[in-house]
Amino acid sequence: MDELTAEQIEELHADLIKLRTSLHEALKAGAEGAKPVDVDEPIGRISRGDAMQQQQMARATKQKNQLRLQQCEIALKAADNEEYGYCKMCEEPIGYKRLKARPETPFCLACQNDREK
């Protein structure tokens, strides 16, 4: 993989800022859906089950967004230290296309595949 150009780094940094803002907004908006289901609320059994399933989905989404936000913050710090764009496992350049798709990713595609196996 080729190392990132200064223009690419600047563009990806802007992408990280946008992503961070978007994730903060999503976490704020999703806070309501993750609240516990009130078992004393007079709704039907199926409705309660639906509400509990939606709550679990909201929690999973919240956890995913929190992880992405954490990775985003780490990537922004790496950019400040001129270390952005390098895989945390093999230390090779991650590549512009992968970072454009997931600017917060800490791993190149090969290392990510290895981690998922």
- In terms of Cβ atoms closer than 10 Å to its own Cβ (0-12, 13-18, 19+), residue 99 is buried
Q: How confident is the model at residue 31 (pLDDT cuts 50, 70, 90)?
A: confident
- pLDDT for res 33: 58
**What's the average model confidence in pLDDT over 77-97?**
95
- pLDDT for res 114: 95
Please report, for the chain, the start and end positions of each structural domain, with discontinuous segments joined by +. Answer: 6-116
Q: Say whether 5 sits in a helix, a strand or coil.
A: coil
Tell me 37's DSSP state: P
- Looking up tokens 């600047």 gives 10
pTM to 2 decimals?
0.79
Instruction: Please check the confidence at residue 12 and state whether its pLDDT lies above 80.
Output: yes
pLDDT in tens, 61-73: 999 999 999 999 9
CATH class entry, domain 6-116 = mainly alpha
